[in-house]
Amino acid sequence: MHQVEIATTRQSLLDAPEMTLNMGPQHPSTHGVLRVILKLDGETVIDLDCDVGYLHRGMEKIAENRMYTMIAPYWDRLDYIAAVSNGLVWVETVEQMMGLDVPKRAHYIRTILTELNRIASHLLWLGTHAMDIGAVTILLWAFREREEILKIFERQFGARLTCHAWRVGGMPNDAYDGFVEDCQRFVDNFPKRLDEYETVLSENRIWLSRTVGIGIISGEDAIAIGLSGPALRGSGVAWDIRKSRPYAAYADMDFEVPLGENGDTYDRYLVRMEEMRQSRRIIKQAIENLPDGPVNAKVPKLIKPPVGDYYHSIEGPKGEIGCYLVSDGTQQPWRVRVRPPCFINLQALKQMCIGHLVADVVAIIGTLDIVLGEIDR
């Protein structure tokens, strides 16, 4: 914070005019169409404002005019990097409203695929974050691993990025032949690759000097803003919905939650790297204990949940992705509301950036791991 004081004093003494810099919506590292209005003194950020909404598609309003099963594909497009996780929160909410009893095998396959999706999302974060800080090679390496995951998705769902993964009450198909083998191969190869990435970054002096102490946010502030996911755990707050309110098959899984200390960019980096290792561990357990049986519950032809308000949330790759549904007893929801992790995480940007340099703004946007599709909805 002392940097802020220096910046403001200098300005009052020299009366230097501040410069307003529009970063985005066309900018290589605002991860889409985010517009950040920076007020600069030299290169020091003295004020910052985010302008969002360039990708607004009216998801929530569209959802009010669709039947419950028809909304699910829209839901996948919220955070297109993590389509599988997004789809899961919708179908699980509807299942809970209907009181459906989803078979265990479906739960296990859901766990495997969402964890694969978490790894894919974190790999994309790693690549783009490293590229924002200047290490371009990591991006291509991360994409190489992500490709393996996308291949599994393609075989299972028929699509790579915007895969419509689930149906209310279970899965559209059982796992394809060779699913377990593919996952097993990925699980075997992945740690080596992850170690490679860590060799290039974790001990790298430039990486350390670019991330340690940058974008600090304390645990209290993080809770006050409502951060979730790795951004919250990087500040040392032990909160993971997979643990606190287990969904899918997470109650059966044995895994640990990584926690940071200072809440700076480096801590968040370490937390995400460790989360990938833990995800691999979950996948490994799930494919070892994958039960047999059906993958679909008995679902009524017409989905008409009882009247009421429902909220369900899961631990998405970016944080707590939630779904608030108001049912009036018809085939269409009366009101739908997303609890968007990226949108809420983005609110911490101002607090993290002020007093830092322009280069750090880019690093902090990267560490928040935002996806504009979900922020603008």
Partner 1 sequence: MFALAAPTIIDNLLLKFFSEQTVNYVIWPLIQVGLVVVITTGWVAYATYLERKISAFMQARLGPMRVGPWGLLQPIADGLKLLTKEDFIPENADRWIFFVAPYIAVVAAFITLAVVPFGPDWAVITDVNIGVLFVLAVSSVGVLALILAGWSSNSKYALLGALRSSAQMVSYEVSMGLAIIGALMFARTLSMSGVVGAQASDKIWFFFYQPIGFVIFLISGIAENNRAPFDLPEAESELVAGFHTEYSGFRWSLFFMAEYAAMVVVTAVATTLYLGGWYFPFVYRFTEARGYHTAYVVISLIVFLAKAGLLLYLYFWLRWTLPRFRYDQLMDLGWKWMLPAALINIVVTALGIGVVQGLDGVRGMHTIVSISSGLALTPTGKIITVGIGIANLFLTAGILSLINWRSRDFNLKKQRRQIRLVDLPKGKPAVAPVETVSEARP
Residue 182 vs 360, nearer CB to partner 1? 360
- List residues bridging with 365 in a β-sheet: none
Report the nearest approach of partner 1 to the CB of residue 171 (Å): 18
Q: Using the 8-state DSSP alphabet, how is residue 16 labeled?
A: P
Residue 181 vs 328, nearer CB to partner 1? 328
Task: Return the structure tokens found at 81.
Answer: 């990097």
> How many other C-beta atoms can be found within 10 angstroms of the C-beta atom of residue 200?
14
Report the nearest approach of partner 1 to the CB of residue 216 (Å): 12
Q: How far apart are CA 321 and CA 314, in angstroms?
A: 6
8 A C-beta contact, residue 319 and residue 344: yes
Q: How far apart are CA 125 and CA 117, in angstroms?
A: 12
Say which amino acid occupies 30: T
* Torsions phi, psi for 57 (to 5 deg): -120, 0
Q: How far apart are CA 256 and CA 153, in angstroms?
A: 26
* Torsions phi, psi for 163 (to 5 deg): -80, 130
Report the nearest approach of partner 1 to the CB of residue 208 (Å): 4
* Torsions phi, psi for 170 (to 5 deg): 160, -130
Residues 6+ apart with CB under 8 A from 279: 115, 116, 118, 119, 122
Residue 156 vs 325, nearer CB to partner 1? 325
Q: How far apart are CA 250 and CA 72, in angstroms?
A: 22
Report the nearest approach of partner 1 to the CB of residue 250 (Å): 8
Closest CA to 325 of 302, 301, 305: 305
Report the nearest approach of partner 1 to the CB of residue 149 (Å): 16
Say which amino acid occupies 80: Y
Residue 31 vs 377, nearer CB to partner 1? 31
Report the nearest approach of partner 1 to the CB of residue 257 (Å): 5
Residue 159 vs 358, nearer CB to partner 1? 358
Report the nearest approach of partner 1 to the CB of residue 111 (Å): 13
Report the nearest approach of partner 1 to the CB of residue 329 (Å): 10
CA 350 to chain centre: 20
Task: Return the structure tokens found at 139.
Answer: 């991006």
Residue 178 vs 329, nearer CB to partner 1? 329
Residue 44 vs 156, nearer CB to partner 1? 44
Residue 174 vs 252, nearer CB to partner 1? 252
